[in-house]
A and B are shown apart, each in its own frame.
Chain A
Amino acid sequence: MQVNLRHKGSITILDIEGKVIGADALALKDIINEQIQMVESQGELGAKINIILNMERVQMMDSSGLGVLVASHTAIQRNEGNIVLLSLGGNVRSLIVMAKLMTIFDCYDTEAEAIAGIIFSNSSQDVK
């Protein structure tokens, strides 16, 4: 598995490639946690974590990988941030459906839609 990090404004995009299984799933967890900690340690009041996981090149994911997605979602929700999934391939999508997690995650087909989704979610939270 390889992970490439990109930033667009306050949004971090993780381009994930390969198989998110076994020890690699744990490595992905570390990368996401690092991003969470980085935003939290900056200490800006109201700084939110916004992450897009680009799954386009993920060949396969196992229950360890799925567990990382769920744990990251929970951690980021606590911060009122966003973690969204981009370009789910057939087998990863069916895995998420099988585990009944489709309603938990916001999934998008294009990066522009994912970014718009995060901006919209943040602005509607601010209104509240």
Chain B
Amino acid sequence: MGERTEQVITLSLPSSMRHVDLLKVIVTEILKETDFTEDIQEQANRAVIEAGINATKHSNKEGPEKQTTFQLIFAEDQFNVAIGDDSEEATPEETETERVVRLSLPSSMRHVYLLDVVVTEILKETDFTEDIQEQINLAVIEAGTNAIKHGNKENPIKKATIEFTLAEDKLEIRIEDEGDGFTRKEVADPLDPENLLKSSGRGLFLMEACMDSVTYENNGTIIKMVKYN
């Protein structure tokens, strides 16, 4: 397998046992993309979960301020996992009441559903109503699609990185791509009658409609979105 069919997805989670479910869900989805039989998929999944529990419980002593990082490397016929626990200091922006989940995806449209799976799981941990959860879910998918399609031009070597910070009063989402960026003002208004029948160009509008605040940084390669409780 010398071809560049290998994909690397990185998932970084706070070291809390309740995040093991999130790991299980994403590993299950990734394994579906491989050619392994269901039995082997089940075995691989169990092994990752065991290793994840080990890193969370024993190395990081379930300190939610510490992160466990999973590098899931897969091709049609291979699945490798590298797990890093965080014995060092927690990153300064993380406090006891904030939890950070970070996901880094190769820029392929087929990974949008992985993002959907992760967001759905994360939102279950929040107090947002079902309606609001759907809005946040949509905003995240739009931002992810934007980063993968328009930012990174679906180049699988380039990564779209999505970071969720769960605080008591809000959920903050940061999306970063490796593209050239864009200027928000130059993006046409999809509600303008002359644009209504265009088949694209509604992503940013929907993100802004669904979230309490959306800001564009670093020439639009970083988008920060916030929803307050």
CB interface residues, A 89-128, toward B, < 8 Å: 91, 95, 98-101, 104
Q: Residue among A21, A26, A98 with the most chain B CB within 10 A?
A: A21
Contact pattern, B 94-112, Cβ under 8 Å of A = 1, otherwise 0: 0000000000000001111
Q: Is the CB of A63 within 8 A of B198?
A: no
Give A68 to B198 CA distance when docked, in angstroms.
Answer: 10
Which residues of A line the B interface, CB within 8 A? Answer: 19, 21-24, 26, 60, 62-64, 66-68, 70-71, 73-74, 91, 95, 98-101, 104
Given contacts A63-B142, A63-B145, A63-B202, 17 further A-B contacts (CB under 8 A): A21-B141, A22-B112, A23-B113, A24-B113, A62-B141, A62-B142, A62-B203, A64-B145, A66-B202, A67-B198, A68-B199, A70-B198, A71-B199, A73-B197, A74-B197, A100-B191, A100-B196
Contacts of B206 in A (CB 8 A): 62-63, 95, 98-99
Give A60 to B113 CA distance when docked, in angstroms.
Answer: 12
Q: Which residue of B lies closest to A66 (CB)?
A: B202
Q: Is the CB of A67 within 8 A of B202?
A: yes
CB interface residues, B 187-218, toward A, < 8 Å: 190-191, 196-200, 202-203, 205-206, 209
- Indicate whether B116 reaches chain A with its CB closer than 8 angstroms: yes
A22-B145, A99-B202, A100-B196 known; A62 and B113 CB under 8 Å? no
Q: Is the CB of B145 within 8 A of A62?
A: yes
Contacts of B109 in A (CB 8 A): 22-23, 26
Give A104 to B199 CA distance when docked, in angstroms.
Answer: 13
Q: Is the CB of B112 within 8 A of A21?
A: yes
- Indicate whether B137 reaches chain A with its CB closer than 8 angstroms: yes
- Indicate whether B166 reaches chain A with its CB closer than 8 angstroms: no
Q: Is the CB of B116 within 8 A of A19?
A: yes
Using C-beta atoms within 8 Å of the partner chain, give the interface range for chain B.
20 to 34
- Indicate whether B83 reaches chain A with its CB closer than 8 angstroms: no
23 residue pairs from A and B, CB less than 8 Å apart: A19-B113, A21-B141, A22-B110, A22-B113, A22-B116, A22-B141, A23-B109, A60-B137, A60-B138, A62-B142, A63-B145, A63-B202, A64-B145, A67-B199, A70-B198, A70-B199, A73-B197, A74-B197, A74-B199, A91-B131, A99-B202, A100-B191, A104-B196
- Indicate whether B134 reaches chain A with its CB closer than 8 angstroms: yes
Question: Shortest distance in angstroms between B188's beta carbon and chain A's nearest beta carbon?
Answer: 14
CB interface residues, B 101-133, toward A, < 8 Å: 109-113, 116, 131
Residue of B110, B200, B205 near A23 (CB, 8 A) is B110
Residue of B131, B138, B191, B199 near A62 (CB, 8 A) is B138
Give A26 to B109 CA distance when docked, in angstroms.
Answer: 9
Contacts of A91 in B (CB 8 A): 131, 134
Contacts of B137 in A (CB 8 A): 60
Contacts of A68 in B (CB 8 A): 199
Contacts of B110 in A (CB 8 A): 22-23
Contacts of A64 in B (CB 8 A): 145, 200
Give A114 to B138 CA distance when docked, in angstroms.
Answer: 28
- 3 tightest A-B CB contacts, nearest first: A22-B112, A71-B199, A63-B202
Give A21 to B149 CA distance when docked, in angstroms.
Answer: 13
Contact pattern, B 31-51, Cβ under 8 Å of A = 1, otherwise 0: 000000000000000000000
